[in-house]
Each structure stands twice: as structure tokens, then as C-alpha cells.
Amino acid sequence: MTRGRRWRVVVLALAALYFLVPLVASAEFSLRAPGGGYGVANYTRIAEDPVLLSALFTSLRIAVLTAVIVLLLVVPTAVWVRLRFPSLAAVLESATILPIVIPPVVMAAGIAFVQANLGGPVFRALFDSSTSALTPFYVILALPFAYRAVDNGLAAIPLRTLVEAARNLGAGMTTALVRVILPAIRSAVLGAAFLTLALVLGEIVIARILLYTDTFPIAVVETGRSAAGVSVALSLASLLLTWVLLLAVSFVGGRRRRSLRSRPSVRRRTP
Amino acid sequence: MTAVQKSPAETATDAAVEFRGVSRVFGETRALDGLDLALRRGELLALLGPSGCGKTTALRLLAGFDRPTSGEIRIDGRDVTGVPASKRDTGMVFQAYSLFPTMTAAENVAFGLRMRKVGGAERGRRAAELLELVGLGDRGGSYPHELSGGQQQRVALARALAVRPSVLLLDEPLSALDARVRVQLRDEIRRLQLAEGITTLFVTHDQSEALAVADRVAVLNAGRMEQVDVPQEVYARPATPFVAEFVGVMNTVPVSGGRITPGAAETTQVRPEALLVGAPDGLAGTVLTSTFLGPVTRLVIRTEVGELTADAVTRPGLPAIGEHTTVQISG
């Protein structure tokens, strides 16, 4: 038993080192001031760089749009499949794996081909800005993660009974979904939204192949070429941003979960 | 409550709910096979049968969660066969876990009123009134997970009654509860049902539950109705061998002149309490099992006409397991 315990500590320590060393090294590097000593110059330069900031906003805009579209597609579909076509669950599951199985570079090459060879006003409008061009593809990339997150959330609640109870009390299908099911799977939905956000803030392959230079991940890489310190500072800052968002999600989801907890006695004592 | 209580007899011809030749086929199985059943206004009818007999299918058809393959369903004389669940005006209590987890007990009870666009103040008042009625007046602010299984089912009952539905549907609402709570809530459901005078369809596989609370019991087997009658009649005069076996325990014995007679051509059915253990002119047998049930002790006795189940009033001197005794139809 003690042996197993010691091994656990060793493995944990190694894993911690593996994660922490690059982070600490990056932090140290990003805090180096030009001409020796330490300072926050690299960080203040992020705030002063209009290109970086606008890239961040572009990516956040794409992320929010993507998350909204993905959830509008995934939540009703997952509910529908579970209620009406349970036999289709397996088909849908393998379909949602496709975007993971197909490398982004293949998808990007396909999109580039379409972009280059198909004309017409619709296509031109679609590829006019990075937001309208990338959002549909990021939706496809995010689908598998979002579907899984939402479906797991649905598996944890007595979906059919809740929907039937709501309908029995006079609610239509949409009302049942919005008033009863959505609040019950709130943390799963937030998780799906967060995964989408993280995906968009890190996606570089498609954006690069389609030659959109104004998204955040591209800007980070471009900055790195001229100012390594700023680029690293930026990476850390975006990591921090992601963490803050994750914390926010788990805080909001956690408050819900606490009220959904099956054993209330544990938490009841806290005022 | 404003509902006027009418005795079922007064309004015997006034069907609140009617199944007319209702069938439901799933693939190869006929879950319901031409069901004809009418519920009188204000009565509690127990739909009794083993699992898979079609009783839940019938309930779901009435609630509108499913459509019949053929036949017609009427509520208050109106054909509702094609009406969606949300417009049927039925109140349903499910087996378990049907409360909306993110809403408090009071919000759950008020949900149906909200769907009917009842104002906030009125909703709150009605929800409080109903929670009071089911004995949970002080738990309106609790979330479902903070309530016990029995309390959750009380809230579910209050929620179903809040909208003053024309029919109350109970889908084995007690099956997930432990024995003591089950009996308590069963009696409470009956008390409320009588007080509100609401027509109720109570689906159960538990015959003692059905006999205890129902005005009439409908026994269903393999999608077909076996018998519909008051509990006393169903118990005393089962219409078919299936009903005899399913409702209570029944011995089938050969008789001649009202006495158990091995080899007699005529057979009859005898309840355990109608058998006399230790009768002077009885049939000899050996006690296989003896189960103490409080006021009575249930003995299974092996005789030359087969194993007989007999309930004897608990008293000193009853034969023990392995001992010889005699058994005869009493009276």
C-alpha cells in the first residue's frame, strides 16, 4: 500500500513538472526586460498593440458565434434523437467523430479548393471576412465535442419523464426544452460552449491555409517572429484568460450542480 | 375545494373517460387489443395487471404520449384521440423522478398554472394551498433533491392537481417507495381523491394496492380486459382463472358436495382463508412452509390433491413445518 502511494506521488510530481516547467519558463522569459532585469514591458505592449487586440476581439466574436450556432444545432438534435430515434444514436455518434478523424489540414485543403474554384456572389460574400468564412468550419470542428458534452448531460437526467411531465402540464415541446431541459443540463451546455471557445482560440491550421491573418492564434504566431517576449506573454495571457473563463463556467455550473446534488446533507451546513 | 362530491352510483351513465376498442400494436406485439373501458365521473379505477399487460400503454394513450393504432379515446365525451398531450387536460403522477430538478417544490406545483397563463400572485397562492393539502406547506422552497422519495411524490401529486385536470393519472406512483411510506401515501391519495372528487385512473401491478384504494378494479392481461368490478367482487368472484391467480392466492381443488374429495371430477377455487387447518374430517397433509403474518399464519400443506395454501388464525398448537395435519373447506 505504501509502495503504491509512493508511486502515486512520483507520477504526480513528474506530471506536475511536465506541465509546470514550460509555464514557469515562459513566465520567466516573458518578464525579462530588454537590457537585463525584469519588468512587465512585454505585457504592456500587448495592450498597446492595436493589431493584437483587434485579433483577440475577432477571435472572440467568431468563438461566440460558433458556440451559439453549435448549441442551437446540437441541443435540439441530441434531445430529439434520445426521445424519438434512439436507434439513430449510434449513427449520429460515429458521424460526430468524423471531424476529429479527418485532419484539419485535409478539411482546409478542401475548403481552399472550394474557395478557389467556385465563384458567385454567395461564395464571395462567405469568404469576404474571416468571421463569416471561418465560423461555419469552426462549427463543424466543434460539433463532436459539443455533441458529446450535451449528450452526456442528457444521459444524467430522466429526459423522457421530464419532457412528458412538462407536456402533461400544458407545455409545448419548445417550452419543455427551454424551461425544463435546458436548465437541467446547464453545466453540460456551458461545458460545450467553453470547449468551443477554447477550440476557436487555438485553431490555426484552417485560418492559415485560407490566408486569414486577423485571428488571435495567427497574430500570436506572427508577433512571435518579431518579438518573442511579447508572443510568449501573449500565450500566457490567453492561457490565463481561458482559465478565468473555465473558472467562471465551473462557478456558474457549480452553483447549479450544488442545487442538483443528490446528497444535500454535505453542503447544507454551509450558510 | 369547490368540487362537488358525487357518488359513482348517481352518475353511473356519465362516463368521464372512455376507451372504445382501443388497440396499440408495437411491431409484432399487440400491447392493447381492443380495450373497452369507461371511467365514471369521480371514481378511482385501478388498472391492474402484470408487467407487460398493457396497463401503462393504456395510461400513456390517455395522457397523449402515444397514439392508438385503432380505436377512440374520449374525455368528458370529447374525442381526444388526435389531441396533443399538452392540450388534454390530464394530471399525471409518474413512477419517480418527474419533478423539475432546477425548480423548487412550489415552482414545480405552479408550472402547469404558468403554462395556462395564470398570474404570479394567483399561482403562488394555489401552489401554497396544494402543498398544504399534501402536508408539505413548509417545504415550498425546497428543491426536489432535498426531499425524500415520498415527499417528492406528494409534490408531484400536488403539481398534477394544481391545474384542476379532468382526469388524474397515476402511473405506479408508489412503486419506488418503501413499504411504510407506500401504504401511508396510498391512503392519502385516496383521501385527496375523494375530497376533490376527481376521476382517477390508477395503474398498478400490486393487487393489494388496487383492492385497498379503488372504487373498481380493472384486471388487464396480455392487452385484454379480464374483469372490471368492485374490489370485493373481483376478489370473491374472479371472472377468469387468470384473475383468480393474479388477485390474491387461490387454491384449485377437486370437490364433491362442498368438501375436498380426491379424484372428484368437479373442481372449485378456494381462498386460503376459506380453508380450515386441523379439520376433523379433513384431507391429510404435511406442512411445507409456515409464515407468520401477524393475526394469521400462512401454511403451505402438501396433500394428495397438490399443495394447498391455507391461512389459519394465529394460535398456539398450529402444526409446525414437517408435521402432519388435515385441511378442509370450512363451513
- pLDDT tens digits along A29-87: 888 887 778 888 888 888 888 888 888 888 889 999 999 999 999 999 999 999 988 88
> Per-domain residue ranges for chain B?
15-245, 273-329
Are the Cβ atoms of B86 and A170 closer than 8 angstroms? yes
Domain count, chain A: 1
Residue of B nearest to A167 (CA): B86
> What is the pTM (predicted TM-score) of this model?
0.79
Does the beta carbon of A61 lie under 8 angstroms from any beta carbon of chain B?
Answer: no
**Residue A189 lies inside a defined structural domain of this protein:** yes
Nearest beta carbon to residue A158 from set B64, B97, B102: B97
Closest Cα in chain A to B149 = A262
Average pLDDT, chain A: 83
- pLDDT for the residue A260: 46
Mutation target for B interface from A159, A168, A263: give the one with most B CBs within 10 A: A168
A171, B115: Cβ pair inside 8 Å?
A: yes
Contacts of residue A179 in chain B, CB cutoff 8 Å?
111
| Class for the domain spanning B15-245 | alpha beta
B100, A259: Cβ pair inside 8 Å? no
Q: Are B112 and B155 in contact (CB under 8 A)?
A: no
- Can you read off the three cell numbers belonging to residue A254? 457549480
Interface test with A, best of B80, B98, B153, B166 (most A CBs within 10 A): B98
Residue A171 structural domain: 43-257
Residues B79-138 have pLDDT tens digits of 999 999 999 999 999 998 899 999 999 999 999 999 999 998 999 999 999 999 999 999
C-alpha neighbours within 13 Å on the C-beta side of residue B194: 9
Q: Which of A169, A183, A264 sits opposite B112 (nearest CB)?
A: A169
Average predicted confidence (pLDDT) for chain B: 90
Asked if pLDDT for residue B2 goes beyond 70, the answer is no
State the average pLDDT over residues B149-164. Answer: 94
Closest to B237 in 3D by CA, of B254, B250, B225: B250
Residue A9 lies in a domain: no
Q: Report CB contact under 8 Å: A165, B100.
A: yes
Residue B183 has pLDDT above 70, yes or no: yes
Band the pLDDT of A245: cuts 50, 70, 90: confident
Interface contacts (A, B; CB < 8 Å): 76
Under DSSP, the state recorded for B319 is: P
* Mean pLDDT within B179-200: 92
We report the CATH number of the domain holding residue A149 as: 1.10.3720.10
The residue-averaged pLDDT of B198-218 equals 94
The set of residues, in sequence order, having a beta carbon less than 8 Å from that of B310 and lying 6+ positions away, is B251, B272, B275, B276, B277, B298, B299, B300, B301, B327
B116 touches chain A (CB under 8 A): yes
Q: Does B102 touch chain A (CB under 8 A)?
A: yes
The 10s digit of each residue's pLDDT in A104-149 is: 788 888 877 877 777 667 777 777 777 777 888 899 889 888 999 9
> Each residue of A143-181: b (16+ CB within 10 Å) or e?
bbbbbbbbbebbeebbbebbbbbbbbbbbebebbbebbb
CA B116, CA B165: separation in Å to the nearest integer? Answer: 12
Look at residue A198 and tell me whether its pLDDT is greater than 70. yes
Report yes or no on A215 lying in a domain: yes
The winner for highest mean pLDDT among A98-107, A234-243, B174-183 is: B174-183
The reply to whether A262 touches chain B by the CB within 8 Å rule is yes
State the ipTM, two decimals: 0.82
Does A204 reach chain B within 8 Å, measured CB to CB? no
pLDDT of residue A171: 93
Backbone angles phi, psi at B64, to 5 degrees: 95, 15
Q: Which positions 137-196 of B are in contact with A (Cβ < 8 Å)?
A: 143, 145-146, 159-160, 163
Name which of A168, A184, A264 is nearest B101 (Cβ-Cβ).
A184
Could you tell me which chain A residue has the CA closest to the CA of B169?
A168
User: Is residue B84 less than 8 Å (CB to CB) from chain A?
Assistant: yes
d(CA A69, CA A61): 12
Q: Which residue of A has its CA nearest to B104?
A: A259
Question: Options 2.40.50.140, 1.25.40.10, 3.20.20.60, 3.30.413.10; which CATH number does B273-329 get?
Answer: 2.40.50.140
The pLDDT of B214-241, averaged and rounded, is 93
Rounded to a whole number of angstroms, the distance from the CA of A263 to the nearest CA of chain B is: 7
- Cα–Cα distances in angstroms (integers) from residue A136 to residues A94, A192, B266, in the given order: 20, 17, 81
Task: Check if B15-245 and B273-329 are the same fold.
Answer: no
pLDDT tens digits along B43-52: 999 999 998 8
Q: Looking at beta carbons, which residues of chain A come within 8 Å of B145?
A: 259-262, 264
Looking at residue B87, the DSSP 8-state letter turns out to be G
Distance from CA of A95 to the nearest CA of B (A): 28
Is residue A242 a part of any domain in this protein?
Answer: yes
Query: Quick check: A186 and B102 CB within 8 A?
Result: yes
Please check whether residue B169 is in contact with residue B193, taking contact to mean a CB–CB distance below 8 angstroms: no
Q: Which of A157, A168, A256 sits opposite B90 (nearest CB)?
A: A168
Asked if the C-beta of A170 comes within 8 angstroms of chain B's C-beta atoms, the answer is yes
pLDDT average, residue stretch A174-181: 94
Residue A1: pLDDT band (50, 70, 90) is low
Q: Which of A108-122, B197-211, B235-249, B257-271 has the highest mean pLDDT?
A: B197-211
Q: What is the pLDDT of residues B271-292, one digit of tens each?
A: 999 999 988 888 999 999 999 9
pLDDT of residue A262: 41
Contact B98 A183 (CB under 8 A): no
Cell readout for B316 is 398456539
Q: Model confidence over B5-23: pLDDT tens digits? A: 444 444 444 689 999 999 9
The reported pLDDT for the residue numbered A254 is: 58
